[in-house]
Amino acid sequence: MKSPYLLLAALVTVAIACFPARKTGPLYADASAPLEERVQDALSRMSVEEKVALTHAQSKFSSAGVPRLGIPELWHTDGPHGIRPEVLWDEWDQAGWTNDSCTAFPALVNLAATWDRELSLLYGRSIGEEARYREKDILLGPGVNMGRTPLNGRTFEYMGEDPYLASALVVPYVKGVQENGVAACVKHFAVNNQEVRRTATSSNVDDRTLYEIYLPAFQAAVQEGGAWAIMGSYNLYNGQFNCHNKKLLCDILKDEWGFDGVVISDWGGCRDDDEAIVNGLDIEMGTWTNGLSGNASDSYANYHLANPYLARLRDGRATEEVLNDKASRILRTIFRTSMGEQHFGSFNSPEHYAAARKIAAEGIVLLQNDGTLPLSIPEGGKLLVVGENAYKMMVVGGGSSNLKTKYEIIPLEALHEVFDGHAQVVWERGYVGDTTTDYNKVVTGQDLSESRSAGQLLSDAVQAAQDADCVLFIGGLNKSDGQDNEGTDREDIVLPYGQDTLIEALAAVAKKMVVVNISGSPVAMPWAPKVNAIVQSWYGGSESGHALADVLTGAVNPSGKLPFTMPLALADGPLKTERQYPGIREEGQEWWQEYYDEGVFIGYRWYSSKGIPVQFPFGHGLSYTTFSLSDAAVKAAGKDRFTVTATLTNTGSVAGAEVVQLYISDVEASVERPVKELKGFQKVYLKPGESRKLSFSLGRKDLSFFDASKHEWVAEAGAFKALVGTSSEDIAASLDFSLR
């Protein structure tokens, strides 16, 4: 019998022959060591199998680390409005934890309506602290897809219809999140502007439109915000799926922009073994699910970037060079997050609730007011509140932004806090919209059942309005299918559930009538001339009711501005044909084809250029005080640079903030350009009678269009106008200047 020591030596010899030599000695675990040294050191110690294991999911929301080397797994969490409750290992349903109720922050469209870079930084820092406390490494957000159509079910998750506004706000958000050692994963890259057939539609877009409208916010997030992660989108772009789209991920994101972070698939967005390997995808998540449902899967080894990848590496169809790039990006992400500088975060803190309330209030938009607001109810008087959205909790539902929050203040509760003991607050439902009170087993606990008929509900509301000092209608949309909801689009911008009829009936009998529309996307308002005031509110998170009451009562002077256009009717918009939206099925094509024939003319660019009237323009928002703009001027500030100045004065009697907006018009362009494009804004807080001189800087890029034939930005010599105002249509000064 052979000696056991000889047998052991033989086994060691075989092991050495089978596995590549790796470094010995301690791993660079010290976060103070140079990042790239740590990455390359760890990479040199890893086997091919360990590298491949990094590139795909190991559970619904985690991807593998390298346990042998003490490198932890990556934990992903849905945002971007709060930290998703814990789910079961392989399923979407909740895990049943009792300590994962988060602070729900306002929807991103609410943040966009603040037009406030400092609040965006506060938002990012706050949600980043919550993610870090919950030991999450990658926050799946923010979303910066453009508002091409008001029907998009996820408009509420994005930052409006203008690339400059979204770019300006995404940068501080990303920086704020990543200050906490949490990677912001900017989504959904790219031209992902509808939910209907989102996994089977090719967005066919020309390069000029792509670079001018749909890429700027992503580029700003990467190059100015330093984003550590990008999420690919479900759709195809020009015929290739975006989670492994060579032009988007390799040519533009990684080569042109120099992105050194990690590209993550949307859940179920990876569709092909070979393309996933070579076309820029780094981590594959959620394969064989559609992002919303799907059976539990223990088949992680069969993901496109799992065993199929290993097989290709072993037979030479794939190279280790490409694998090393993927693994390096993933290691870089781990060393920036859980193995980076130590952060502890915080959760459900008073500061977070205060931030949520402030952001929600600052984004509420006063659309119309004849002096009825702020609310003034006589002592002993009656405030009639009508509408389901005054009572229904809105945090639960909507898709992947579904949250379990510690609490949610509804508008009716906040109004009782303000007026109880002074005036009577009475609520009438008025209509039945969505009686759902749970989503993925997150339950609100409300009872939204209703025994009255639609006719009786309307009659009861109108009867109650007869003796009310003011009728406050709080309605709009919700997060159910066909409303503001992931996975479905709206059918029209008309208010659902017969709300237009109800508003008209109330306005006919009310002494004073205020309409609050709660939605994440535009709605038509044919009754606008018949009511005294209109307020655009949003899904405001945990403190939504308090924020709305603050604005309605004047505790907060409204300063929000619309981040999208409110059209009079859907038919007025730029998408006129089925081939534009929702797409057509052409002979011989496997996927639906959608053509961006409108080019760069979306949102206010379309309405302004075509002279089409709207209900309320992009950038519009009123205040309880008044402002004036004066002394506007433009002057040269060096080669190809200009400075635009103007003085803003608070001419009213209440302290408040105004957003001064700068638009540029290219008068002599050789290509068709919009009559105005946003190129600057400043939000300024002033006391009554106070003035401030504002200054905007313009460079060649601000005056340029993208020339696809040259693949570069071109600023043509000739005449331009600088338009200074307080909305895209409220222009106080038009200033001529020339680029030589």
- Distance between CA atoms of residues 244 and 247, nearest Å: 9
Give me the mean pLDDT over the 724-735 stretch: 98
Highest averaged pLDDT of the listed ranges 82-91, 393-402, 448-457? 448-457
Ranges assigned E (strand) in 106-182: 138-140
Same domain? For 173 and 305 the reply is: yes
Longest dimension (CA), the chain: 105
- Going from the C-alpha of 120 to that of each of 178, 179, 213, 227, 523, the distances in angstroms are 13, 13, 21, 15, 25
- Going from the C-alpha of 691 to that of each of 30, 114, 629, 658, the distances in angstroms are 52, 21, 10, 12
- Going from the C-alpha of 604 to that of each of 88, 253, 314, 600, the distances in angstroms are 44, 28, 54, 11
pLDDT digits (tens, 9 = 90+) for 165-192: 999 999 999 999 999 999 999 999 999 9
What per-residue confidence (pLDDT) applies to 4?
41
What per-residue confidence (pLDDT) applies to 591?
97
- Distance between CA atoms of residues 83 and 450, nearest Å: 32
What's the first-to-final CA gap in the chain, in angstroms? 93
- Distance between CA atoms of residues 541 and 537, nearest Å: 11
pLDDT digits (tens, 9 = 90+) for 267-298: 999 999 999 999 999 999 999 876 555 555 55
* Cα dihedral across residues 313, 314, 315, 320: positive or negative: positive
Q: What CATH number did the domain enclosing 261 receive?
A: 3.20.20.300
> Residue 314: pLDDT above 80?
yes
> Residue 385: pLDDT above 50?
yes
What per-residue confidence (pLDDT) applies to 79?
85
Beta pairing class for 236-237 and 240-241: antiparallel
Active-site annotation holds for 434: no
More confident: 299 or 433: 433
> Residue 440: pLDDT above 50?
yes
Same domain? For 328 and 370 the reply is: no
Same domain? For 408 and 297 the reply is: no
Element (H, E) at 330: helix 320-336
What per-residue confidence (pLDDT) applies to 92?
83
What per-residue confidence (pLDDT) applies to 29?
75
Closest CA to 311 of 52, 580, 672, 1: 52
34 burial (CB, 10 Å; 0-12 / 13-18 / 19+) is: exposed
Phi-psi map region of 334: left, alpha, beta (phi>0 left; psi -120 to 50 alpha): alpha
CB neighbourhood size of 508 (10 A): 11
pTM for this prediction: 0.95
- Distance between CA atoms of residues 66 and 79, nearest Å: 26
Same domain? For 104 and 61 the reply is: yes
Residue 207 lies in a domain: yes
pLDDT digits (tens, 9 = 90+) for 15-55: 333 334 456 677 887 888 999 999 999 999 999 999 999 99
- What amino acid is encoded at 354 in this protein? A
Q: Give the list of residues 6+ apart from residue 192 with CB closer than 8 angstroms, or none.
A: 145, 198, 203, 233, 234, 235, 242
Q: What CATH number did the domain enclosing 682 receive?
A: 2.60.40.10
Same domain? For 330 and 370 the reply is: no
Give me the mean pLDDT over the 392-416 stretch: 95
Same domain? For 72 and 218 the reply is: yes
**Which of 556, 580, 600 is the last residue in one of the domains?**
556
CB 128 within 8 A of CB 138: no
Same domain? For 136 and 244 the reply is: yes
What per-residue confidence (pLDDT) applies to 90?
85
**What is the count of structural domains for the chain?**
3
- Distance between CA atoms of residues 630 and 660, nearest Å: 12
**Token code pair at residue 634:** 């433009």
Same domain? For 108 and 194 the reply is: yes
Q: Predicted confidence band at 441 (pLDDT cuts at 50, 70, 90)?
A: confident
Same domain? For 524 and 628 the reply is: no
Residue 303 sits at φ, ψ, to 5 deg, of -55, 160
Angle at 375 between CA 374 and CA 376, to 5 degrees: 115
Residue spans of alpha helices (H) in 420-476: 454-465
- Distance between CA atoms of residues 390 and 388, nearest Å: 5
Residue 587 lies in a domain: no
- Going from the C-alpha of 258 to that of each of 17, 278, 290, 368, the distances in angstroms are 39, 17, 30, 46
Residue 420 lies in a domain: yes
- Distance between CA atoms of residues 399 and 482, nearest Å: 12
Give me the mean pLDDT over the 432-458 stretch: 94
* Cα dihedral across residues 350, 356, 362, 364: positive or negative: negative
pLDDT digits (tens, 9 = 90+) for 82-137: 999 999 888 888 899 999 999 999 999 999 999 999 999 999 999 999 999 999 99
Q: What percent of the chain has pLDDT over 70?
A: 96
- Distance between CA atoms of residues 399 and 172, nearest Å: 25
Across 266-282, b (16+ Cβ under 10 Å) vs e yields: bbbbbbebebbbebbbb
> Residue 203: pLDDT above 60?
yes
What per-residue confidence (pLDDT) applies to 31?
81
Element (H, E) at 169: helix 163-178
What per-residue confidence (pLDDT) applies to 12?
36
**Which of 504, 533, 556 is the last residue in one of the domains?**
556
Q: Which residue in 266, 273, 469, 489 is the catalytic one?
A: 266
What per-residue confidence (pLDDT) applies to 93?
84
Residue 567 lies in a domain: no
- Distance between CA atoms of residues 58 and 46, nearest Å: 18
Q: Predicted confidence band at 367 (pLDDT cuts at 50, 70, 90)?
A: very high
State the DSSP code for 684.
E
Same domain? For 122 and 47 the reply is: yes
- Going from the C-alpha of 135 to that of each of 262, 273, 343, the distances in angstroms are 19, 31, 10
92 burial (CB, 10 Å; 0-12 / 13-18 / 19+) is: buried
Closest CA to 186 of 90, 103, 285, 253: 253
Residue 550 lies in a domain: yes
SS3 491: coil
> Residue 526: pLDDT above 80?
yes
pLDDT digits (tens, 9 = 90+) for 620-630: 999 999 999 99
Angle at 142 between CA 79 and CA 165, to 5 degrees: 145
Residue 583 lies in a domain: no
Residue 266 lies in a domain: yes
What per-residue confidence (pLDDT) applies to 298?
52
CB neighbourhood size of 59 (10 A): 19
Q: What CATH number did the domain enclosing 430 receive?
A: 3.40.50.1700
pLDDT digits (tens, 9 = 90+) for 230-255: 999 999 999 999 999 999 999 999 99
Residue 348 lies in a domain: no
Query: Domain range for residue 687?
Result: 618-739
